[in-house]
Structure 1
Amino acid sequence: VYKATYHGATVAVKQVKKCSKNRLASRQSFWAELNAARLDHKNVVRIVAASTCAPGNQDSLGTIIMEYVGNSTLDHVIYGSGCITAKRKADQLNIAQCLGYSCDIMAGLVFLHSHLIVHLDLKPANIFITEQNVCKIGDFGCSQKLANSASEPQLCQQGGTYTHRAPELL
């Protein structure tokens, strides 16, 4: 993921690479990322544009341009890694921050689910924290768009990160 400027705004640009081992999985991941396209919610990373054209780069399936939310994640805050190690090393998350982050994440999930999108890889590394201290759900590479809410429960292909799966999926 690269930081760039698009029509005067700072954005994040993600090049989705072709995986030589599993081309189908690469393609599915690219299209899954676009499940969040056209959605607008303060707790979901917004997709600005996408393209399957990759001039001069045969290695890419496509490009996704997203709003830039910074490079801080909940993973960094919890485990003290990355860009905010020095800034928050001495700070522990207090109860108010935990509640605020939890409410942001839940609001994002309620919104996604109301649009029949299931993330399927929700983990601290996929929760971005803006400079305004707002959590945004990102990385929709494992997500699925359900057919409709009235239908029978649907079996989803198991995906996501093994260490962050619900116990009933193990």
Structure 2
Amino acid sequence: MKNLIISLAAASVLFVIGCQENSITDPIANEPVDKVQSGTPDTYFHGIIPLEGALRDPYPVGNSFYRITGQIEFDFRMFYMDPIPPAPQRYASLHFETNADLQYFCTVCPFSEEDELAGFIADVSEDYVPLGGNYVSLLEKTFTIQGREDGMVLKVRFLVTYDYVELSAMWLALPNANVVATEK
């Protein structure tokens, strides 16, 4: 009878020990635990880029320019395409709301009423830019200038990284013309 009680006690002790979690596989308490979940946005911010300056007239007329005034309001959201290390792939979703006016001015021409408003831009768009490593991605956009019959467009170049969106260059262009960018 004594052996039966000792055997039951030993079996119950072994059962209790076997049901406990294995402490060898538990994380060490002083190591940080990475709780990044894939599929959730990593970064989000909102910003405004002013559109101010003088742009060269794309027509071959000397000393004529367009003055642009306005802004681009944007929302930046970064997502993981493949969050698995060693090289997670990310992309940025950029939502742009653009409003700007163009005014023609010529330094050697007499002022005319047509110089007041040469066109305007009112545009909403969404773009996706791949981001990887520690480099800058380029995004080039074309905005149609409303109120013009010649098809003139505003072209802009953005620098996009993990933590900022910057206007790098903007210039006016005509259809089927290669015009050099005017650095900001």
Q: Give the TM bin, normalised by the shorter chain.
A: under 0.3
TM-score by length of 1: 0.22
Which has more helix, going by share of residues? 1
**Greater relative contact order (CA < 8 Å, ≥ 6 in sequence):** 1
User: Normalization by structure 2: what TM-score?
Assistant: 0.21
